[in-house]
């Protein structure tokens, strides 16, 4: 089965396979863009051998004090990572929705326009800033 999409087609993430057809499961269109955004935001620069600057270094902010300067830095990092590594979107607007300091998470809403179709979409990305600690 051949998928034809002008927005792109790629492997699903995390990679999954169809056991019957013995093929990799693919995603297209908006789902491909959303998975690309999630990959960019969850990749630490330096993780990819041949692309050492790819990603968004959100992990370095995990233990930072939750202040307005942190919010500005977070928005800046996300905006430039998407500007550099996701060419299919434009007009990126980042909003910080809700946070729970005791639970250790922050919901980040990304509003963007897909260039080819010129339609607006959004994605909420959960950023866990207390991940890896023993706080309960």
Q: pLDDT per residue over 72-108, tens digit each?
A: 899 999 999 999 999 889 889 998 887 777 777 888 8
3-state helix, strand, coil in the chain (%, to 5): 25, 30, 45
Lookup: tokens for 51: 């692309």
Dihedral (C-alpha) 44, 47, 48, 53: value to the nearest 10 degrees?
50
Q: Label residue 1 by pLDDT band (50, 70, 90).
A: very low
Whether 84 contacts 40, CB under 8 Å = no
Instruction: Quote the CA–CA distance of 101 and 66 in Å, as a whole number.
Output: 8
- How high does pLDDT run on average in the chain? 82
Other Cβ atoms closer than 10 A to 108 = 22
Tokens of 44: 């630490």
How much is the pLDDT for 126? 76
Tell me, yes or no, if the pTM score tops 0.85.
no
Confidence check: pLDDT of 54 > 90: yes
């Amino acid at each position: 089965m051949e998928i034809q999409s002008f927005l792109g087609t790629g492997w699903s993430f995390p990679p999954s396979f169809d056991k019957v057809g013995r093929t990799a499961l693919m995603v297209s269109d908006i789902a491909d863009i959303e998975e690309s955004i999630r990959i960019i935001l969850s990749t630490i620069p330096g993780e990819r051998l041949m692309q050492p600057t790819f990603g968004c270094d959100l992990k370095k902010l995990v233990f930072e004090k939750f202040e307005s300067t942190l919010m500005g830095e977070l928005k800046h990092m996300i905006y430039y990572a998407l500007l550099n590594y996701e060419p299919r979107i434009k007009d990126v607007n980042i909003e910080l929705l809700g946070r729970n300091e005791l639970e250790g998470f922050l919901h980040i809403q990304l509003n963007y326009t897909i260039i080819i179709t010129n339609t607006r979409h959004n994605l909420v990305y959960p950023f866990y800033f207390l991940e890896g600690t023993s706080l309960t």
